[in-house]
Amino acid sequence: MRQIVLDTETTGLSAENGDRIIEIGCVELLNRKLTRNNLHFYVNPERDSHEDALKVHGISNEFLRDKPKFAQIADQVLDYLRDAELIIHNAPFDISFLNKELERLGHPPMKAHVASVIDTLVMAKEMFPGKRNGLDALCDRLGVDNSGRTLHGALLDAELLADVYINMTRGQDALLIEAGDTSTEGGTESAQIDLSRFELPVLRANEQEAAAHEATLADLDKACKGKTVWRTLEAA
């Protein structure tokens, strides 16, 4: 499964009121493993950031003046995200900004380009009800090193969120997890798995291992005075 952990920084809090994306950071997971095939852009928002937003991300208006506008990177972003499952913390915020940028260019909204969206904030609230569930709080709770995060940054935050997500969903690492939950009222019953659909390798013992095995059996047989089950069956 291809998943993209995504984060944005913006000029303010409201896409509907004209705030724009100034940074987008994406981290790729393939089968829950980091691939390092990341995507990162600073974007010229064609307007200044609000003072409160500047305190959060620290990206100056002057720094963004010569950066590409969203229209110049839109196709590359969409190609990168296409058919992936997005993982976003507080997804409605980032998706609203992306949708507004796409709307300006006459493109359909994000849901037309990606497979689905996972909101890790919703996940965190279900896992840790009543607790702080911001990214920093989750990093502290799950043992993710966020010591380099003095200001918000889209790529850094996406990288941290990738680690947080892997830790939050660690139980999914189990083999055959797709078998489903077979819990019953009286306890938990093991799922019945059809192993015929798996190709399991056969690793045969080499000569040295076979000799060591025979020596161990001989010692056991001697200790049991020739009454071990395998020797009895072998003789029969």
In single-letter form, the type of residue at position 114 comes to V
Maximum separation of any 2 CA atoms in the chain, in Å = 91
Catalytic residue among 40, 89, 152, 213: 152
In single-letter form, the type of residue at position 138 comes to L
Tell me the backbone φ, ψ of residue 23, rounded to 5 degrees: -155, 140
Active site residue 152: yes
* Of 63, 52, 67, 65, the residue nearest 11 (C-alpha): 52
Say how far apart CA 43 and CA 13 lie, in whole Å.
16
Q: Which helix (H) or strand (E) holds 80?
A: helix 70-81
Say how far apart CA 15 and CA 91 lie, in whole Å.
14
Contact 116, 141 (CB under 8 A): no
Contact 162, 145 (CB under 8 A): no
Show which residues are catalytic: 152
